[in-house]
Amino acid sequence: MAYTYEQIDNIPLAENYPILHPLKRENYYFSARYHYDDSWTSVSEHPLAIFFHGSGTSQHYSPTSYITSPLISRGYNVVTFHNFGSGSSSSSPRANTYGNVNSPLYFGSQIRNAWSVQAAIEYFSAPNQPFSTPFLLYGHSMGASSIFAWSMLSDSPGFDSKEKVKCIVGNGATQGASGNYRWNNVNRNIATMSQIMQECKHPAIAFYADADDMAPPDYARKIQASMPTSCPIYFISPGNYGHNWMGSRVSFWANLADDLYSDKTIIINGNEALLGTG
CB neighbour burial string for 169-196, b if at least 16 within 10 angstroms, e if fewer:
bbbbbbbbbbbeeebeebeebbbbbbbb
Output 23 or 59, the one with its CB closest to other proteins: 23
Contacts of 81 by beta carbon, 8 Å cutoff, 6+ apart: 11, 30, 32, 50, 51, 52, 53, 116, 117, 120
Q: Cβ of residue 6: shortest distance to other proteins, in angstroms? A: 27
Q: Which secondary structure element, helix H or strand E, spans residue 259, and what is its range?
A: helix 250-261
> Quick check: 73 and 16 in contact, CB under 8 A?
no
Q: Cβ of residue 222: shortest distance to other proteins, in angstroms? A: 5
From the list 184, 245, 168, the residue with the least C-alpha distance to 210 is 245
Q: Cβ of residue 129: shortest distance to other proteins, in angstroms? A: 26
- Quick one: which of 49, 169, 192, 204 contacts other proteins (CB under 8 A)? 192
Site string for other proteins, 8-47 (x = CB under 8 A): ---------xxxxxxxx--x--------------------
Candidate segments 36-44, 56-64, 88-96, 138-146, binder of other proteins by CB under 8 A:
88-96
Cα(76)–Cα(192) distance, rounded to whole angstroms? 32
Q: Cβ of residue 225: shortest distance to other proteins, in angstroms? A: 5
Output 141 or 154, the one with its CB closest to other proteins: 154
> Quick check: 114 and 30 in contact, CB under 8 A?
no
Output 124 or 219, the one with its CB closest to other proteins: 219
Looking at residues 223 to 262 of the shown chain, list those that interact with other proteins (rule: CB under 8 A).
223-226, 228-229, 234-240, 249, 251-252, 255-256, 259
Looking at residues 163 to 182 of the shown chain, list those that interact with other proteins (rule: CB under 8 A).
178-180
Please tell me whether residue 184 binds other proteins under the rule CB under 8 A.
no
Looking at residues 193 to 212 of the shown chain, list those that interact with other proteins (rule: CB under 8 A).
194-195, 198-199, 210
3-state secondary structure of 206: strand
Cα(216)–Cα(180) distance, rounded to whole angstroms? 9
